[in-house]
Amino acid sequence: MTADNQNNKVRQIADKAKDIFIRYGFKSVTMDDISRELGISKKTLYQYFDNKLDLILNCVAFMIEEEKDFITQQKATSSDAIEEMMGIAAHVNQTLKKVNPAAIYDLQKYYAKAWQTLELYVNQFIFHSIKNNLEKGMETGVYRNDFRPDIIAKLFIGKARLILNNDVFPYSEYKTSELHTVHVMYHIRGVASPKGLEILEKHLK
């Protein structure tokens, strides 16, 4: 098998396994479950992944790659900073609706290396994406210009982490996708200029 075929197979399996993990949780799903759900033998699964952690790390890596591609595309095609934020938020919401809260808890508690990879992605790529969006909005007049973009970007990330805190927002009482919608609207309305608020209302309609 060529290196390209190997990589394609790894991606194909990891992509399908990711959907299983986020639906049922990372800890409870076994390699036997994955092989059965994918219709392949456990032996075949171990030809591409050393163990369950290796599979999870690949799942997280490919998920991050997909998210980066989407955000980059959204930035390139949006007509303004607010449309960009709302487009990304809508995409994230659709993803969150598919995620079992147990999956988030499992990564944090049992798979620290995978969680650290996600944290690095958030602290670097997402931080700079939010900061750049704020700077773009300030330059075009849809956001106010009386704040530091780096501070607001860090506050945005901090509030996003709060959404995932089960002690603050118990999973049994709050839908993560609903919390995320409120979080993003709170953010946009907080930084928008009068011109931006008009544009926001148009997008909402």
Q: What pLDDT, in 10s, does the model give residues 18-62?
A: 999 999 999 999 999 999 999 999 999 999 999 999 999 999 999
Sign of CA dihedral 144, 149, 153, 155: negative
Predicted pLDDT at 186: 97
CATH of the domain at 105: 1.10.357
Residue 186 belongs to some domain of the structure: yes
Residue 196 belongs to some domain of the structure: yes
Distance CA 105, CA 199 (A): 37
Q: What is the DSSP string of 1-44?
A: --HHHHHHHHHHHHHHHHHHHHHH-TTT--HHHHHHHHT--HHH
Distance CA 7, CA 18 (A): 16
Residue pair 55/49 in contact by the 8 Å Cβ criterion: yes
Residue 104 belongs to some domain of the structure: yes
**Phi then psi dihedrals of residue 192, to 5 deg:** -70, 145
pLDDT, mean over the chain: 94
Tokens matching residue 56? 């999870």
Predicted pLDDT at 155: 98
Q: How confident is the model at residue 205 (pLDDT cuts 50, 70, 90)?
A: confident
* Arithmetic mean of pLDDT, 158-184: 93
Percent of the chain whose pLDDT exceeds 90: 90
Predicted pLDDT at 1: 56
Q: Which residue has the higher pLDDT, 63 or 205?
A: 63
Nearest to 29 by CA among 99, 103, 117, 113: 103
* Arithmetic mean of pLDDT, 164-176: 92
Residue 183 belongs to some domain of the structure: yes
Predicted pLDDT at 44: 92
Predicted pLDDT at 147: 97
Residue 132 belongs to some domain of the structure: yes
Structural domains counted in the chain: 1
Residue pair 117/106 in contact by the 8 Å Cβ criterion: no
pLDDT of 7 > 90? The answer is no
pLDDT tens-digit series, residues 72-117: 999 999 999 999 999 999 999 999 999 998 899 999 999 999 999 9
* Arithmetic mean of pLDDT, 134-158: 97
Residue 39 belongs to some domain of the structure: no
Helix, strand and coil content of the chain, in percent to the nearest 5, comes to: 80, 0, 20
Residue 16 belongs to some domain of the structure: no
Q: 103 CB contacts (<8 Å, ≥6 apart)?
A: 21, 22, 23, 24, 25, 26
Q: Which residue has the higher pLDDT, 185 or 5?
A: 185
**Domain extent for 131:** 60-204
Residue 71 belongs to some domain of the structure: yes
Percent of the chain whose pLDDT exceeds 70: 98
